[in-house]
Amino acid sequence: MAHRVALRWLGFTLALALGPAAMVSAEEWGGISPGTSTMETVRERYGAPSRETRQQVEGYDTVQWIYEGARAPAGMKRLTLEIGMLTPRGYRPNLVRFFVLEPKPRVFHRMMIVRGWGIPDGSGEQDGRSYLFYKAGLMVYLDETGEDALSMVFTVPQPEPKAGK
């Protein structure tokens, strides 16, 4: 739970901090691209979410959509979207800020990730888990073997993470 809350704040804070840089091309998956896709385009592609939560983040109304169980995309345990993003043109309540894929075991292994998204811009370890980092907007957290993706966080383009963070 703390991991999810931290991801929510990270995505919102980075979208605020990046401003115009946040509007350049982001990594995408399954027809969803942070900073470009809207609630409407996601609903057209995946239907209604399993759960919807509304809250305020830094004074803005945001929405979290979760697709799990039978509503999760094929090969995924869960797809979580954070919707509502501050852009250079103002706040857009229907814009996907970031999303998190939680694949089933062996769906996204390290080599498949590199084939699909290229050589990572960086890698490291956080909380005893390895991760791969793409400046274009993807952070992949790997299992204890360092081979299978536990979660994949898709965001607008990001600065490189600082060592030890």
What is the tens place of the pLDDT at every residue in 112-145? 999 999 999 999 998 888 999 999 999 999 999 9
The full length of the chain comes to 165
DSSP assigned state of 148: B
Token pair of 35, please? Answer: 């900073």
**Nearest 5°: CA angle at 139, between 133 and 142?**
95
| Share of residues in the chain with pLDDT > 70 (%) | 81
Q: How far apart are CA 80 and CA 29, in angstroms?
A: 13
The stretch 59-81 carries a mean pLDDT of 96
Q: How far apart are CA 48 and CA 27, in angstroms?
A: 23
pTM of the model: 0.80
Q: How far is CA 97 from CA 6, 47, 72, 143, in A?
A: 14, 19, 19, 25
Identify the band that residue 162 occupies on the pLDDT scale cut at 50, 70 and 90: low
Q: Judge whether 156 and 98 are in contact, CB under 8 Å.
A: yes
Q: Judge whether 57 and 64 are in contact, CB under 8 Å.
A: no
| H/E segment holding residue 11 | helix 2-18
Closest-CA residue to 157 (of 4, 7, 11, 5): 11
pLDDT of residue 128: 86
Q: Mean pLDDT in the chain?
A: 84
Asked if residue 64 has pLDDT above 90, the reply is: yes
